Amino acid sequence: MDFIKNMEWRYATKRFDTTRKIPRTELDLLKRSIQLTPSPYGLQLYKVIIIASQELKETLKPFSQHQHQITDCSHLFVFCNYSTVKDEYIDDYIRTKSGILHIDADRAAANGTSLKAKIAEKTPEQTTNWLKNQTYLALGSLLTACADLKIDACPMEGFEPKHYNNILRLEEKGLNACVIAATGYRSTEDKVQYNPKVRKPAGLLFEEI
Ligand SMILES: Cc1cc2nc3c(=O)[nH]c(=O)nc-3n(C[C@H](O)[C@H](O)[C@H](O)COP(=O)(O)O)c2cc1C
């Protein structure tokens, strides 16, 4: 199965080849993999900032534990969750869905109202967790698509969201930097690529009932 071979091939890349950039056609495929990611109710309550600017990557590096991947990668993906669920996000979604699926206005309005009521049942903490969790699923799609295209990636939580929010002016858009991924091509000098995978044995990881 190619999928498993690809998952064995991929690893959290520590050193990227700074001379290689992801071509536009492949970048568009990576974007499409994120776009197709399922999300609760289909709302997609996040935005993904894709950074190619070397200057911007240099600015972000000190707020990313000085990890080399930030500046050496081709493109840095910043997965940003919306900080709150505004009615307008749900209205936008209902409008889009109604247009595509030809749902009549009354039924669409009822859908929107029940969706807002359902989400309002969550505590603020539950809402925050719920919003952040959605970005991780999108990250998973990106990592899988990267492996399929033989593009290297490093998922990263080692950064300071507060500074990212500030530098990328995310707060004014109602966004929060949640998790990031450096993407590009591995350097032959990255020794980590030659390590065998460290994973829990299946007997510990799974329980079949
Ligand atoms: C959400 C998440 C955050 C991570 N953060 C970092 C990070 O900040 N820096 C880093 O070098 N690796 C980071 N990693 C990589 C993991 O350490 C790595 O995926 C794990 O050890 C398994 O190794 P493999 O991906 O090479 O198979 C992160 C992975 C995930 C999924």
Q: Is the CB of 62 under 6 A from ligand 1?
A: no
Torsion sign over Cα 133, 201, 16, 34? negative
For the chain, the first-to-last Cα distance in angstroms comes to: 25
When pLDDT is cut at 50, 70 and 90, the band that residue 56 belongs to is very high
Q: Per-residue pLDDT tens for 67-88?
A: 999 999 999 999 999 999 999 9
Question: What pLDDT shows up at residue 105?
Answer: 86
> Collapsing DSSP states into helix, strand and coil, what is residue 49?
strand
CA of 154 to the centre of ligand 1 (A): 6
Quote the ligand 1 centre to 34 CA distance (angstroms): 19
pLDDT for 99 equals: 94
- For the stretch 147-166, pLDDT in tens is 999 999 999 999 999 999 99
Number of neighbours of residue 193 by Cβ within 10 angstroms: 17
**Torsion sign, CA atoms 115, 88, 122, 81:** positive
Contact 16 CB / ligand 1 (< 6 Å)? no
Angle at 194 between CA 193 and CA 200, to 5 degrees: 85
Q: Quick one: tokens of 54?
A: 């070397």
Q: Which of 78, 79, 154, 199 to mutate to test the pocket of ligand 1 (most atoms within 8 A of CB)?
A: 154
Phi-psi region of 91 (alpha: psi -120 to 50; beta: other; left: phi over 0): alpha
Whether the CB of 158 sits within 6 Å of ligand 1 = yes
- The response to whether residue 156 sits with its C-beta less than 6 Å from ligand 1 reads yes
